[in-house]
Amino acid sequence: MSTPSLADFADEARAFLDAHATPRASDGAVVWGEGPDRVTYFSDEPFEVEQANVQAARDWQRTRFENGFGWITGPKQYGGRELSIAHDLVYDGLEAGYDVPDTGVISLIGLGMIAPTMLAHARPEINEQYLPAMFRGDAIACQLFSEPNAGSDLANVQTKAVRDGDDWVLNGQKVWTSGAQHAQLGMAVCRTNTSVPKHKGITTFLIDMSWEGVDVRPLRQMSGGAEFNEVYLDDVRVPDTHRMGEVDDGWRVTMTTLLNERASVGGEGAGPATRPTSRANLLAMLKATGRDTDGGVRRDFARVIADQAATEYLTSQMMRRARAGDLPGPEASVGKLMFGQNLTRIAHLAAEMTGPRMLADTGDWGTFSWNELLLGTPAFRILGGTEEIMKNILGERVLGLPKEPA
């Protein structure tokens, strides 16, 4: 079958969306005081509501997959269509005009970070087993990377994997694992050799989160939600077929995931907070709060707008490189760095404009609702690699500056 042109593909996508979803009622214009009065990135919904949202995401992902839009760029042998990144972007742009469930719980980590790593390093039979299920929405994946003493210094992982015949036995603790409470699959980074430099003694495994010995414990965030988890691995037996890459070569596998992680985090805009953090909404907020005559606030507003524009241009550059078939480059780390800084600055600007009304609910629209984003901003500057780590990577590996003293 020939590759459809972008125009023909767009027509096909519109027909699918018209048949399975409802166009958004809004024309995109921001009217202060209208629309959802909530500004959040991380969920703090009751568990039952969160579960219902996850199920809706699964259902929509399955509908997309069964109609040829679940993995537009993926290999046909795993249910993809082998079309270009440009086709994928066309579909995303069209779907943005429809009311559909948020599939971030499925796509951001599992499909955006782990699936590309599996394609590059997992065995064909494992990819056959898991990849169609992931892109159909049947299996959600999580990263079992960070540990209490190995966050930004990921090579310091202490979770051990010991060979036992055709299996490996895993023991250790992971922490800050996003989405583990919903996941059926996990990618675990483990220590398999202690007699070599730490980067050279790591191996990665895919584990079924329902296997005996896997214990997921949610961590409560100060914003009220519990999207992060501790995961304990207690004598978890993993078949050697679930090993990704060679023994002790897991750092190379891990870096594949981290490059895709930074590209995903840095290039996704503001996720659920996209509309309230848009330039149009911030300008409407500036006027509605009466701070448009305050020179200091106007200066901070201008800086935020300039940073947003620079990030958008950088994201466009990343997309052009992706269309050309290039792997994520230094822009991924820069994009991730700017993403966290932008949301932090926006939250602080909102605090400046709303004042005490962000701390106590006075009933004024668009004021108290911002505290969820403000309380979530510390996480933006840590997830996917701390700002300090990102700056070191850019300084040492891109600018060629001297390595930071140990």
Catalytically active residues are: 261
Helices (DSSP H) in 67-147: which residue ranges?
Answer: 85-95, 104-106, 115-121, 124-136
Positive/negative CA dihedral, 395, 397, 400, 404: positive
Positive/negative CA dihedral, 377, 383, 384, 387: positive
Backbone angles phi, psi at 228, to 5 degrees: -100, 160
* Residue 223 contacts residue 204 (beta carbons within 8 Å): no
- Which residue pairs, CB below 8 angstroms and at least 24 apart, start in 353-359? 353/285, 353/286, 353/289, 353/291, 353/297, 354/289
Residue 358 CA to residue 41 CA, distance in Å, equals 16
**Residue 332 in tokens:** 């991924």
* Residue 33 contacts residue 287 (beta carbons within 8 Å): no
Strand, helix or coil for residue 97: coil
